[in-house]
Amino acid sequence: MTESLRRTAIVTGAARGIGAETARRLAEDGFAVAVLDLDEAATKPTVDTIVSAGGRALGVGADVSDADQVQAAVRRITDELGAPTVLVNNAGITRDNLLFKMPDSDWDAVIAVHLRGAFLMTKAVQKHMVDVNWGRVVNLSSTSALGNRGQANYAAAKAGMQGLTKTLAIELGKFGVTVNCVAPGFVQTEMTMATAERIGQDWDDFVAARVAQIPVGRGGLPGDIAHAVSFFVSEGAGFVSGQVLYVAGGPKA
Ligand code: NAP
């Protein structure tokens, strides 16, 4: 991609894990990348990695579930990096518990970050895509959307991401915008490390138990997910929209 055609991408939750690797990959693909996360200071390692490899990146602090912060972030990205035409809704949290023990606030928090966050971010960015008749939205779902014990809030949010994806694909298609979902299985990140810690399981044992269920015989890495996002964002994927791609080392988690 030449400098004059360089497009701007936003990756939310990109300070670490899947988001950080996706931001790095999109920079390698030629995009200027807004590395958005709750704490701007925490985005510095991702930004530095991109810049030291010759890419362009901007660290932005914002809570994706807060409408005012989302508006301000998208304005700043547009001014400092360029109008965004690629959006990866990756920011996420878990607050796992069995239904009868789940505090209402943990239901609300998970729905707010994943679903309200993706809604607010996409609403704020879509204008820039429609303006140039080109855009790519990729939403992070999960194999948990198919049901997972202790994750009523997270599974509902991740299934909701799929409904949001399919509906936005229908609404935005005529403006040259594709909307797709990547649904990872087990990926080794701080999110899954926190799960192992919460249930009191040694990390290596936790990984081994999951890998035993995965047909390709290994756990997922952030780069596996970034590769799938890169495909959906690519120019050649313009006829692929409203799809959910499970990236899980097999047909199920
Ligand atoms: P992670 O390591 O926990 O990273 C998530 C990032 O999102 C963190 O930097 C976090 O910031 C940020 N974030 C949280 N709430 C936010 C908010 N309100 N506004 C902006 N940023 C926020 O998670 P991950 O494992 O890379 O997961 C990334 C995505 O993939 C998530 O949507 C997750 O649900 C999905 N996924 C992951 C797996 C897996 O096995 N890891 C499987 C399926 C799906 P803080 O550090 O400040 O909280």
Please name the residue whose Cα sits nearest to atom 12 of ligand 1: 13
Task: Using the mean position of ligand 1's atoms as its centre, give its distance from the Cα of residue 93 in Å.
Answer: 5
Residues 88, 79: Cα–Cα separation, whole Å:
19
Question: Quick one: pLDDT at residue 2?
Answer: 47
The answer to whether 246 is a known catalytic residue is: no
Ligand 1 atom having least distance to the Cα of 64: 19
- What residues have CB less than 8 Å from 183, skipping those under 6 apart? 140, 141, 142, 143, 145, 158, 162, 244, 245, 246, 247, 248
Distances (CA, A) of 160 to 51, 84, 142: 35, 24, 11
CATH homologous superfamily of domain 3-185+222-241? NAD(P)-binding Rossmann-like Domain (3.40.50.720)
**Shortest CA distance to 96 belongs to which of 22, 28, 158, 177?**
158
Q: How far is CA 224 from the centre of its chain?
A: 13
Task: Using the mean position of ligand 1's atoms as its centre, give its distance from the Cα of residue 12 in Å.
Answer: 9
Choose the residue to mutate in 10, 12, 37, 121 for probing ligand 1, maximizing ligand atoms within 8 Å of C-beta: 37
List 119, 154, 186, 246, catalytic entry: 154
Residues 231, 234: Cα–Cα separation, whole Å:
5
Report residue 150 as tokens.
């202790």
Encode pLDDT of 7-43 as tens digits.
999 999 999 999 999 999 999 999 999 999 999 999 9
Domains of the chain, residue spans: 3-185+222-241, 188-219
3-state secondary structure 173-239: HHHCEEEEEEEECCECCHHHHHHHHHCCCCHHHHHHHHHCCCCCCCCECHHHHHHHHHHHHCHHHCC
Residues 54, 48: Cα–Cα separation, whole Å:
10
**Shortest CA distance to 161 belongs to which of 191, 182, 192?**
182
pLDDT < 50 stretches in the chain: 2-4
**How many alpha carbons fall within 13 Å on the CB side of residue 87?**
33
Choose the residue to mutate in 71, 90, 95, 143 for probing ligand 1, maximizing ligand atoms within 8 Å of C-beta: 90
Residues with CB under 6 A from ligand 1: 12-13, 15-19, 37-39, 63-65, 90-93, 113, 117, 140, 142, 184, 186-187, 189-192
Residues 253, 238: Cα–Cα separation, whole Å:
28
Task: Using the mean position of ligand 1's atoms as its centre, give its distance from the Cα of residue 17 in Å.
Answer: 7
Question: Quick one: pLDDT at residue 253?
Answer: 54
Enclosing H/E stretch for 28: helix 17-28
Task: Using the mean position of ligand 1's atoms as its centre, give its distance from the Cα of residue 179 in Å.
Answer: 20
